[in-house]
Structure 1
Amino acid sequence: MRIRPGNAYPLGATWDGRTGTNFALYSEHASRVELVLIDADGGEQRVPLRERTAFVWHAFVEGVGPGQRYGYHVDGPWAPEEGLRFNPRNLLTDPYAKAFSGVTRWEDGTFSYDIASDSPDRDLIANPHESFGVPLGVVVDPGFDWQDDRPPHVPLHKTIVYETHVKGLTMRHPEVPPELRGTYLGVGSPPIVRHLTELGVTAVELLPVHQFVDDKFLLDRGLRNYWGYNTIGFFAPDVRYRSGERVAAEVQQFKEMVRALHRAGIEVILDVVYNHTAEGNHLGPTFSFRGIDNPTYYRLVPDAPRYYYDYTGTGNSLNVRHPQTLQLIMDSLRYWILEMHVDGFRFDLAATLARGLYEVEQLSSFFTIIHQDPVISQVKLIAEPWDLGEGGYQVGNFPVRWAEWNGKYRDTMRSFWRGDGGVAGDLGYRLSGSSDLYQNDGRRPYMSVNFVTAHDGFTLADLVAYDHKHNEANREDNRDGEDHNRSWNCGAEGPTDDPEVRALRLRQQRNSLATLLLSQGTPMIAGGDEIGRTQGGNNNAYCQDNEISWYDWELDDERRALLRFVQRTLAVYRDHPALQRSKFFKGRKIRGGDVHDIMWLRPDGEQLSDDDWQDPTTQSLGMFLAGHGVDDVDDEGEPIRDDDLLLVLNGGLSPVEFVLPPLHAAWERLVDTAADEPHGQVAGGDRAELPPKTLVLFRGVDPDMTHDT
């Protein structure tokens, strides 16, 4: 085997396509780095990396190509009280690995300290034994025939996000071939693509697919980390979602999934976890970063660098202030865009990435670098705008170009449909694009990613069926998960045969989904809500890799009716640009008369007063959208026009008669949550009766108008 000096860039293992592979690893504080090449039988060949350029240790190894498994031994000071935790007995995985050979083998050792010691300071004692339980990196062949892949590039104000899980979406689908269930290829298979296109979504947002670690405490309970928010490899698609056993095939299969979704006009957004890693706190395992250069990659407590800042509830926080850690994240993002063709990212606990010393800084280095990056700045960027640290709730405070999960939208809509009083004012803001959060900093209504449910919490079917969480299957005595869910069981806790309760629950699901799809902003549907997916009241199913989390595709009449309702409502959304505005309302008059681009109406037909907005008993209102007030232009620069629309909501427990404006000869029902099919018209100026807990969307029609919808 011939070893050449190689190059310090790019980091990771890079096959040259012909003669061998370049290996490059950053470690500022290491004194020695050794590459370990492992063959199919477990045999090792160790290659010292003697070249060191700008703290990057590197070598080119001839004869090494795709499929080669590898790791590192990194030597340096063992001084945990100074933040240095080098232990050359630990086999470490490459932070830049593009694929992994498998998952963590806890039984083979993963700790750099002496975990067997009884000392309360055992993390200060170096592990005297060999530790090689980490997943190994694999050299990959990046070649792939994209077949003129063209990302759909759907504008954000026309985007409909479908949040889902690779395995949960596909594992129980009867039309997905058994060998593809739970895999990337399953997501790209014809039955799944057909469901997504018939539903009408434009993007899938996949729960984490970066290589992650199953927590040992979960494995000890017979559970595993299903959601995947426990990353160890920021460049590698997780091996668990591979079809077949061929090493590194998941890289090609991920690309095949993206290509298939793009052909159907569906974008791919990844939920990414750059705020922490799977290595936990000072008592956690050592897989990679901690043993390679602990103070470079982690936020250590300045006066006690033995310990870690933890803004995430996982034990550590990445040190985004360090240039090398910033480079790692940016290199990862660019890799997924340029090499894997993804269309955007949702950043888990994004407030952590913005932290300076303690406070959240809107213009931290992380956001500044992304803003100027010509690749990353042009894809969809979505923040989960909070973390668990002090001052971590930052909804509305992220920079221009960033969309946000709007937690205030979720809370307001849950409260309104549950029947809570005093939310009318917030409801108006949320329905119209949350101008109170996004209007004054250069952003637009579509920067509000609206949602009522997500992977974390109740499913929509459970939100209307349970007053309390039921997380016993997590084996934590039901102590985990959120206690304040703003849920309502509609009169019975859990499953029931009561026809009235079941009918109310179905209507409440329709209410939440219709409100979501008819509000200004970017709607996000939690996958499975369109088919009434239940988790049996579990609102924290992060560890349930089983039928609790996997979608049940055997639909009864109620669930099939719900699916048809969502499909019809999404079609209405797509057909009406007044529901997809790219600009905030101005309250301006239209046609030189008394009609404004948006108007808020009481049931008696009069406009809401300030007192009405403040009245805690206000549970019914209407939102009028002027079709000539869209204030957008098409691709040719021509003004966009639409029909006048009227969205009417009755969140109370009594029927309400609503006077429809005399602006048109009639108002036609487009969406009606109290009926399986919307039907009929109401003359302008007449009253329309809304049953309790009902939403109706009307379209203004006149004798000379067509009635096609």
Structure 2
Amino acid sequence: MSQLGATVSREGIRFAAWSSSARRLWVSIFDETGNRETDRLELQPEGEGVHALFVAGLGAGTRYGFRGDGDYAPERGLWFDPEKLLVDPYAIEIDRPYAHHWRLSARRNEGADTASLMPKAVAKTLPKPLPILPPLFRPGGLVYEVPVRAFTMLHPDIPERQRGTIAALAHPAMIEYLQKLGVSAVELMPVTASIDERHLPPLGLSNAWGYNPVTFMALDPRLAPGGLAELRDTVAALRKAGIGIILDLVFNHTGESDRLGPTLSLRGLDNRAYYRQEPDGRLVNDTGTGNTVACDHPIVAELVLDTLRHFVRHAGVDGFRFDLAPILGRVDGVFDPAAPLLKAIADDPVLADRVLISEPWDIGPDGYQLGNFPPSFLEWNDKYRDDVRRFWRGDAGMVGALATRLAGSSDVFAKADQPLSRTVNFIAAHDGMTVADLVAYERKHNAANGEQNRDGHNENLSWNNGVEGETSDVAIAEARFDDRCALLATLFASRGTIMLTAGDEFGRTQKGNNNAYAQDNEITWLDWGGRDLALERHASALAAMRRAAPVLSSTDFLTGEPLAGSDFPDVAWLTETGAPLSEVDWHDPRRHRLVMLLGAGERDCRFAVIVNGDRRQSMFTLPEREGFRWVPAIEAQAGAADIARLVPGRTVIFMTERKAGQARAGKDL
């Protein structure tokens, strides 16, 4: 790790910060409460932008912050103000959460010293690095997206003092639940310290998601009151249970926001180096948050790499998901899959085998980069999300698109140098409507966010399954349940990595709010007492079925050619009669039915995914072969004839071949 930050030794602490533009830098030392400044010591230039000072007699637990002085000329991108206390970008712990206050944004000489408003970095002696073990997660597994606070705030089995924290994930009740759901890795939404956007406190709201970071390594004290040790212990507990942890990290922007935002850390040390600027000094806003981190600057790239190594070495995480990831690959504002930072992550000996997941879009020029990241990155696949929603909404002509998504999205990821699909399939994520709300709300309902319903996406590809007054409430509930089951079944039937957001498996609702970032309350807190247990059982059965059928999670692209040693193609696409889909069938706008017949695997058995997207029931017939019979892959779907099955409308059925005399597939799960 870089020698920037606070390095604790037996003799004292070396404080170091980087700035290419500051004339002077200081370290402010505070008492043990973090409220009284006891010393202000000037750092000395050491060359190449590093300013450092060794202070004898100080030890672990010392609270401190930096201050910078130089030109104050925002029109030139310079924001130096020695009255602004700055949190060390390399802080690994802070003594309190960030809280927004107008004085943090005051212009130089227009506001008082901000030390009383700011968290203090806490100097720490890092524990001995952990052995770097191979990640538990492998592509094709189930990623479970978790908002740490919302996940356990209402869970009755979690001790009240532990609710809403990282430690709660290690509670036996949580581990048992994750195992039952077949989770391969938990993806923690941001757990590093963040600050509320300035418009939220006046509305009585706060940021519930954490996508507004200030410092990249320090954990949020509200989520991890036990600091780094809490994360490390939780990772170890989940790893013992066979579950990995992936951290969702935000390197694309910080909570210092636009020119009206607060000065908290990077802005006060060297705004022009840490953030991308327009020629006239204005901040580039490729993120929609007011600023864009300059990931192509060597000092920023070093900070990003040091942060990733820190969480691998000292917490043992499996990997990372990168928010608005094209920012990491922008060089002089243009995305380049061979960008130095992306290449450095892939080549780093500590990081090379980690799970890397990109959100492959930002709002800058050419910001949509799905399929264009290096082979080491898996990618969130919004084409999958949208096409699956359109199919189950009943849009015309979606059979071909659904087949492509079920098969791993070769149209996006099949490239000469990339033989495996890198898709992360998802139907809903933290940002947008929940699975339950997709089938209950045609339009967003974001009034609670205080922006007159202007925020959030307007097109959600959602539908209101049943309008009250046209049919009974019972019929509406049943139709919505069927659609939720179908959406989940489609996800678990899809080849490649799949992602499920916590609570979607039991019908969590946000009452139609598709941008609930500001709702740290019952809108986002998972209602464990009111969950739909029937839907939850369905999801658990799907997870067990997927684990028992590796052909579903494979990341190999399907070719339609026979597998080695088999007479059957790796995939055949059939109509409900068992005949191959013709060119006419593929383009029939009225077709909402198909069968994905996957070729024989290790046990020489084929696997069928039967999709009836029509509201009418239909008879489906599968091709037979001597010595084998078709049986349901999920016991709950048993009850009809093995070959010809009457499939209800809006349903996905799974069938597997068994040699004559073998037990039913469901019995094996």
What interval of TM-score do these two structures reach, taking the shorter chain for normalisation? Answer: over 0.9
What is the alpha-carbon distance in structure 2 between the residues aligned to residue 67 and residue 79 of structure 1? 36
C-alpha displacement at 1:580, in angstroms? 2.2
Alignment of 1:391 onto 2:354:
no
Alignment of 1:351 onto 2:326:
yes
Alignment of 1:680 onto 2:646:
no
- Listed as ranges, the matches of 1:520-559 within 5 Å are 520-555=495-530, 559=532
C-alpha displacement at 1:218, in angstroms? 0.4
Query: What is the aligned partner in structure 2 of residue 275 from structure 1?
Result: 252
Alignment of 1:365 onto 2:340:
yes
| Contact 1:401–1:443 under 8 Å retained in 2 | no
Query: What is the aligned partner in structure 2 of residue 129 from structure 1?
Result: 112
C-alpha displacement at 1:241, in angstroms? 1.1
Query: What is the aligned partner in structure 2 of residue 311 from structure 1?
Result: 286
What is the alpha-carbon distance in structure 2 between the residues aligned to residue 645 and residue 474 of structure 1? 46
C-alpha displacement at 1:276, in angstroms? 0.6
Match for 1:137: what amino acid? A
Q: SS at the partner of 2:395?
A: coil
Query: What is the aligned partner in structure 1 of residue 26 from structure 2?
Result: 34
Query: What is the aligned partner in structure 1 of residue 539 from structure 2?
Result: 566
Match for 1:275: what amino acid? N
| Contact 2:136–2:239 under 8 Å retained in 1 | no
C-alpha displacement at 1:442, in angstroms? 3.0
Query: What is the aligned partner in structure 2 of residue 193 from structure 1?
Result: 175
Q: Give the root-mean-square deviation of aligned CA atoms.
A: 2.1
C-alpha displacement at 1:593, in angstroms? 7.8
Task: Summarize deviations over 1:155-203 as a string: whole Å, max 9, x none.
Answer: 223x210001111111100000011001111111111111111111110
Task: Summarize deviations over 1:431-487 as a string: whole Å, max 9, x none.
Answer: 011111111143354510000000011111111111111111111111111111111
Query: What is the aligned partner in structure 1 of residue 68 from structure 2?
Result: 74
What is the alpha-carbon distance in structure 2 between the residues aligned to residue 642 and residue 54 of structure 1? 64
- Listed as ranges, the matches of 1:437-448 within 5 Å are 437-448=412-423
| Contact 1:669–1:681 under 8 Å retained in 2 | no
| Contact 1:75–1:86 under 8 Å retained in 2 | yes
Unaligned runs of 5+ in 1: 1-7, 115-125, 244-248, 629-639
Task: Summarize deviations over 1:575-595 as a string: whole Å, max 9, x none.
Answer: 112112232122212588863
C-alpha displacement at 1:396, in angstroms? 1.1
Query: What is the aligned partner in structure 2 of residue 217 from structure 1?
Result: 199
- Listed as ranges, the matches of 1:172-183 within 5 Å are 172-183=154-165
Match for 2:125: what amino acid? D
| Contact 2:129–2:313 under 8 Å retained in 1 | no
| Contact 1:666–1:682 under 8 Å retained in 2 | no
Task: Give the aligned length.
Answer: 661
Query: What is the aligned partner in structure 1 of residue 463 from structure 2?
Result: 488
Q: SS at the partner of 2:539?
A: helix
What is the alpha-carbon distance in structure 2 between the residues aligned to residue 352 and residue 51 of structure 1? 31
Match for 2:8: what amino acid? W
Residue from 608, 625, 638 that aligns with 2:581: 608
Residue from 259, 262, 284 that aligns with 1:285: 262
| Contact 1:255–1:341 under 8 Å retained in 2 | yes
Query: What is the aligned partner in structure 2 of residue 650 from structure 1?
Result: 612
C-alpha displacement at 1:145, in angstroms? 9.9
Match for 1:160: what amino acid? L
Query: What is the aligned partner in structure 1 of residue 138 from structure 2?
Result: 155
Unaligned runs of 5+ in 2: none
Alignment of 1:596 onto 2:596:
no
Query: What is the aligned partner in structure 1 of residue 125 from structure 2?
Result: 141
| Contact 2:129–2:314 under 8 Å retained in 1 | no
The structure-2 alpha-carbon separation of the partners of 1:553 and 1:497, relative to structure 1 and needing over 3 Å to count, comes to: farther
Task: Summarize deviations over 1:273-298 as a string: whole Å, max 9, x none.
Answer: 10011111122111011110011100
| Contact 2:70–2:80 under 8 Å retained in 1 | yes
What is the alpha-carbon distance in structure 2 between the residues aligned to residue 396 and residue 149 of structure 1? 29
Query: What is the aligned partner in structure 1 of residue 488 from structure 2?
Result: 513
C-alpha displacement at 1:152, in angstroms? 5.2
What is the alpha-carbon distance in structure 2 between the residues aligned to residue 575 and residue 204 of structure 1? 21
What is the alpha-carbon distance in structure 2 between the residues aligned to residue 602 and residue 70 of structure 1? 68
Query: What is the aligned partner in structure 1 of residue 621 from structure 2?
Result: 659
What is the alpha-carbon distance in structure 1 between the residues aligned to residue 390 and residue 638 of structure 2? 29
Query: What is the aligned partner in structure 1 of residue 51 from structure 2?
Result: 57
Match for 1:645: what amino acid? F
Query: What is the aligned partner in structure 2 of residue 5 from structure 1?
Result: none
What is the alpha-carbon distance in structure 2 between the residues aligned to residue 63 and residue 492 of structure 1? 72
Query: What is the aligned partner in structure 1 of residue 407 from structure 2?
Result: 432
Query: What is the aligned partner in structure 2 of residue 418 from structure 1?
Result: 393
The normalised TM-score by structure 1 is: 0.90
Match for 1:576: what amino acid? A
| Contact 1:670–1:697 under 8 Å retained in 2 | yes
C-alpha displacement at 1:569, in angstroms? 1.0
Q: SS at the partner of 2:541?
A: helix
Residue from 552, 559, 564 that aligns with 1:579: 552
C-alpha displacement at 1:144, in angstroms? 6.9
C-alpha displacement at 1:610, in angstroms? 2.0
Alignment of 1:297 onto 2:274:
yes
Q: SS at the partner of 1:301?
A: coil
Task: Summarize deviations over 1:327-377 as a string: whole Å, max 9, x none.
Answer: 111111111111121111111011122223343222222212122211222
| Contact 1:400–1:441 under 8 Å retained in 2 | no
Query: What is the aligned partner in structure 1 of residue 7 from structure 2?
Result: 14
What is the alpha-carbon distance in structure 1 between the residues aligned to residue 190 and residue 416 of structure 2? 30
Match for 2:119: what amino acid? P
- Listed as ranges, the matches of 1:392-411 within 5 Å are 392-411=367-386
Query: What is the aligned partner in structure 2 of residue 333 from structure 1?
Result: 308
What is the alpha-carbon distance in structure 1 between the residues aligned to residue 373 and residue 278 of structure 2? 26
| Contact 2:598–2:607 under 8 Å retained in 1 | yes
| Contact 2:127–2:314 under 8 Å retained in 1 | no
Task: Summarize deviations over 1:518-543 as a string: whole Å, max 9, x none.
Answer: 11010101110111111111111000
What is the alpha-carbon distance in structure 2 between the residues aligned to residue 38 and residue 409 of structure 1? 52
Q: SS at the partner of 1:312?
A: coil
Q: SS at the partner of 2:315?
A: coil
Task: Summarize deviations over 1:376-414 as a string: whole Å, max 9, x none.
Answer: 221000000101123211111111111000000000111
C-alpha displacement at 1:85, in angstroms? 1.4
Query: What is the aligned partner in structure 1 of residue 36 from structure 2?
Result: 43
What is the alpha-carbon distance in structure 1 between the residues aligned to residue 180 and residue 419 of structure 2? 28
The structure-2 alpha-carbon separation of the partners of 1:472 and 1:9, relative to structure 1 and needing over 3 Å to count, comes to: closer
The structure-2 alpha-carbon separation of the partners of 1:21 and 1:492, relative to structure 1 and needing over 3 Å to count, comes to: farther
What is the alpha-carbon distance in structure 2 between the residues aligned to residue 110 and residue 153 of structure 1? 43
The structure-2 alpha-carbon separation of the partners of 1:592 and 1:168, relative to structure 1 and needing over 3 Å to count, comes to: closer
The structure-2 alpha-carbon separation of the partners of 1:80 and 1:145, relative to structure 1 and needing over 3 Å to count, comes to: closer
Question: Which is further off, 275-284 or 657-666?
Answer: 657-666
What is the alpha-carbon distance in structure 2 between the residues aligned to residue 436 and residue 69 of structure 1? 53
C-alpha displacement at 1:151, in angstroms? 5.9
Q: SS at the partner of 2:517?
A: helix
What is the alpha-carbon distance in structure 2 between the residues aligned to residue 493 and residue 275 of structure 1? 44
C-alpha displacement at 1:691, in angstroms? 1.3
C-alpha displacement at 1:617, in angstroms? 1.4
Query: What is the aligned partner in structure 1 of residue 652 from structure 2?
Result: 695
| Contact 1:669–1:697 under 8 Å retained in 2 | yes
| Contact 2:408–2:555 under 8 Å retained in 1 | no
Residue from 85, 90, 105 that aligns with 1:111: 105
Q: SS at the partner of 1:682?
A: coil
What is the alpha-carbon distance in structure 2 between the residues aligned to residue 317 and residue 641 of structure 1? 52
C-alpha displacement at 1:51, in angstroms? 4.1
Q: How high is the sequence identity, in percent, across the aligned residues? A: 40
| Contact 2:378–2:424 under 8 Å retained in 1 | yes
| Contact 2:466–2:479 under 8 Å retained in 1 | no
C-alpha displacement at 1:63, in angstroms? 2.2
Query: What is the aligned partner in structure 1 of residue 632 from structure 2?
Result: 669
| Contact 1:163–1:525 under 8 Å retained in 2 | yes
What is the alpha-carbon distance in structure 1 between the residues aligned to residue 137 and residue 187 of structure 2? 14
| Contact 1:211–1:233 under 8 Å retained in 2 | yes
The structure-2 alpha-carbon separation of the partners of 1:86 and 1:378, relative to structure 1 and needing over 3 Å to count, comes to: same
What is the alpha-carbon distance in structure 1 between the residues aligned to residue 416 and residue 351 of structure 2? 21
The structure-2 alpha-carbon separation of the partners of 1:105 and 1:506, relative to structure 1 and needing over 3 Å to count, comes to: closer
